[in-house]
């Protein structure tokens, strides 16, 4: 059996280091954090609601609070990798309340193209000094959607006093992919409709 070992030179010390174990595992260390290349290329965007919306008090069905639609050309367009989802509480009742986020990965292309309720100027690139959004994503608010089995996303927050600013920030790390023609929806679910929230997404647009 032929054993192959890879060696590298440490740029700081000049020492030669073996990169492969005797079992054949290759050790690789990233020089930069994993998202640096995507962000630096200008491919990562973020957008969300500008005002708070009343939460629902039961699992969502055919109405989404906010939806991200990929309006790229099928077969040639980019796919959207959902990196994170967030929610911010803008109003709560007096006393105990709780809120979390449910999501729905829709199985089929919508029969009617969703509307773009959030302007391109309000979609922010995660790299500073990048001009307004020029992609094809459409972000629809309060859209009528197909109930493709909503599921809880991440954890929930329990609030014991009246206040605002409670936040959920759920890291997905490309766990959800929205291909051209795909739709992804969110809704806030709470113990009472007087819990108002603003929801949003961060996503990367890449060719797969």
pLDDT in tens, 131-174: 899 999 999 999 999 999 999 999 998 887 777 888 999 999 99
Arithmetic mean of pLDDT, 103-113 = 96
The rounded distance, in Å, linking the Cα atoms of 201 and 45 is 8
Higher local confidence (pLDDT), 160 or 124: 124
**What is the model's pLDDT at position 77?**
97
Please check the confidence at residue 71 and state whether its pLDDT lies above 70. Answer: yes
Arithmetic mean of pLDDT, 8-33 = 60
* DSSP string for residues in 91-130: E--SS-EEEEEEEEE-SS--SSPPP--S-GGGPEESSTT-
What pTM does this model have?
A: 0.85
Name the token pair of 55.
């939460």
CA dihedral over 165, 170, 173, 176, signed as positive or negative? negative
**What is the model's pLDDT at position 160?**
76
């Amino acid at each position: 059996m032929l054993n192959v070992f890879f060696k590298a030179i440490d740029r700081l010390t000049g020492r030669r280091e073996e990169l492969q174990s005797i079992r054949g595992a290759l050790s690789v260390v990233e020089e930069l954090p994993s998202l640096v290349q995507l962000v630096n290329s200008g491919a990562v965007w973020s957008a969300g609601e500008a005002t708070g919306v009343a939460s629902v008090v039961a699992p969502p069905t055919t109405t989404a609070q906010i939806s991200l639609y990929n309006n790229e050309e099928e077969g040639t367009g980019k796919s959207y990798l959902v990196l994170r989802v967030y929610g911010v509480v803008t109003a709560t009742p007096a006393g105990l309340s709780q809120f979390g986020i449910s999501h729905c990965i829709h199985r089929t292309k919508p029969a009617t193209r969703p509307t773009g309720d959030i302007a391109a100027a309000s979609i922010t690139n995660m790299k500073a000094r990048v001009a307004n959004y020029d992609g094809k994503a459409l972000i629809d608010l309060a859209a009528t959607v197909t109930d493709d089995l909503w599921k809880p996303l991440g954890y929930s927050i329990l609030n014991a006093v009246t206040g605002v600013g409670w936040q959920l920030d759920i890291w997905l790390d490309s766990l959800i992919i929205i291909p051209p023609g795909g739709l992804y929806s969110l809704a806030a679910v709470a113990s009472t409709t007087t819990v108002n929230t603003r929801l949003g997404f961060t996503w990367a647009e890449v060719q797969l």
